[in-house]
Structure 1
């Protein structure tokens, strides 16, 4: 073999090796997922029983993959199609094929932030939370409507919503509904420290009653600095056996949350939630109060106020009074202000 032929073969092999090395670097390391500059982290949801092709369909649908061929090639080499694992996986911008496939094949899924607040109805809670997880609303609803499950946590099927304290939690998408309730139970116990339990007992309230009262306070005012005073009014009325006459409980009973002005005829609705008809607290919360609001009930102001009404200046606060005569005068100013603003219902 001549020297020129040897040199030619050497150059050819070198070029081929360089080409293959570059290709394999492209396949393994080069960014291939979310390669656009404006791409953001994508949460890939892989349900139980999913196939490799269904995973590919999701990635293509959301335009996550740049070069499908190289991804498929490496997935076949790594036998990922035989090891598809359910879970929620965060695909980061500029991720390479190997990094992504190692994560997916290992089942090393990412927890997701689960936030819930501003929930009134149990049915809303079931839908909103159930839809965040793989198990879905039906599985959650079945548990929350099961007396035995509720009793396990110290509640009934009405008060079970007190188990859920509004916050943001890091939870896996694939969590089982039973495990999810256990997690909420852990957070509930963590919140209800001996100190908080003692404060509730001092006020003659159970933990559940405290949360029910907090739900009313939360509906009356979103001014955190005013909540302890509002809570003090209701505690005074409870101690004296006076009906709470809390408008938000009537609105809850009517299931009409667009009401801005309650009419006298609406105050007669026969519902255990109507605190104009029934003395004491309603059978369950009328929303999920924030932990801060629960604390404001536990740290309620001590005063002699028995009444309050929205401040006629509509500044977000209320006017408080100790006597019915004072209250009626303040209420008249508020009603007149509503009429001037043409708010009739």
Structure 2
């Protein structure tokens, strides 16, 4: 073998060795974990290429600077099809897994929970405080929201289903509310079709209003349909509903935590100690159990109920029994406060 052939052979060996080493380094880099000690939210702006992605990852100290980043994308081009969006990187995720996630377009999901019995003003405050939501509502007025959703203004309170909704970054506040409204509309429509015969409701709004009253009156699941029966019985007899939560709702911001006799005697559209029949609309967002109770109330003779001091209520059929139950509750409350 000549010196020249030996030299060429040596060079080939070195090149092969160099390529093997580089390939090994690329694979090592791809399998290395991200430089994060906890979950990280990462946003890749629209129009970002490889250089911009690498620079952003370096700047946020998610991936250290490495000559192998670009080579990995050349070696595995399917990882270079990354899409703009906001993603969730977990601790222990490798560089390859991260790039695969960016290429999948599976953006991070963020939850927002609206609880049963809450009001639209509370929902709007939650939306404004929630991360990654695009705020499009100019203000928190019902008129603004009704216009954005193309619904009657009187259908704002109550007509949104309380649940946990997941959203991706830059989802609008209106989009989330539209989903909640569609869900409530669907549930109410189904219950309206299957409700008990002879209930004193003029329309679906009455059913939803009753459900919202039940929601605010009790948190005990087993009681809901019984509470609904009390109000149904009162409506049938022409008695006033006389439910405190409606009075509180009608007072708005003037309610300071305690109802007075004057409050109960001051007329508002929602003061059921003053008005006959149902208030004009819901006073909160009822959950599924309260909606079902309003549509399928128990068949009872109860006309009154009062807290029993143990988390539930005592139900009675006449005023004398009710007054005795009230005295028992007051005594229990007094003893509790003296402890």
| Aligned residue pairs, count | 329
* Contact kept? 1:74, 1:97, Cα under 8 Å: no
Matching residue of 1:22: 24
1:294 — aligned with what?
291
Following the alignment from structure 2 to structure 1, what is the Cα–Cα distance between the partners of residues 183 and 314?
36
2:170 is aligned to 174
- Alpha-carbon deviation of 1:231? 0.6
Equivalent-residue separation in structure 2 for 1:57 and 1:142 (angstroms): 39
Partner residue, 1:276: 273
Map residues 146-161 of structure 1 onto 2, 5 A cutoff. 146-149=145-148, 152-153=150-151, 156-161=152-157
Distance, in Å, in 2 between the alignment partners of 1:45 and 1:74 is: 23
Q: 1:140–1:177: 8 Å Cα contact kept in structure 2?
A: no
Matched residues in 2 for 1:50 and 1:124: separation?
A: 38
Specify the SS of the correspondent of 1:95: coil
Q: Determine the C-alpha separation between the residues in 1 that align with 2:168 and 2:107.
A: 8
Check if 1:319 corresponds to 2:318: no
How much has 1:327 moved relative to structure 2?
A: 1.3
2:195 to 188, 199, 204: 199
Q: In 2 relative to 1, CA 177–217 (structure 1 residues): closer, same or farther, beyond 3 Å?
A: same
Give the distance between the partners of 2:312 and 2:111, measured in 1 at CA: 33
| CA pair 125-108 structure 1, distance change in 2 beyond 3 A | same
Determine the structure 2 residue equivalent to 1:231. 228
- Distance in 2 separating the partners of 1:126 and 1:268: 31
What CA distance in whole angstroms lies between the structure 2 residues aligned with 1:265 and 1:83? 65
State the secondary structure of the residue aligned to 2:157. Answer: helix
In structure 2, the gaps of 5 or more residues are none
Q: Give the SS at the match of 2:233.
A: helix
Counterpart among 177, 184, 188 of residue 180 in structure 2: 184
Deviation at 1:233, TM superposition (A): 0.5
Normalising by structure 1, what TM-score?
0.76
Corresponding residue for residue 336 of structure 1: 331
TM-score, normalised on structure 2?
Answer: 0.77
Q: Which residue of 1 aligns with 2:137?
A: 138
Which of the numbers 200, 217, 220 marks the counterpart of 2:217?
Answer: 220
Change (3 A) 1:122 1:179: closer
Q: Name the stretch that deviates more: 68-77 or 211-220.
A: 68-77
Q: Deviations over 1:177-221 (max 9, x none)?
A: 554444334423432354533417741322222222222212211
Bigger Cα Rg: 2
Cα-Cα RMSD: 4.0
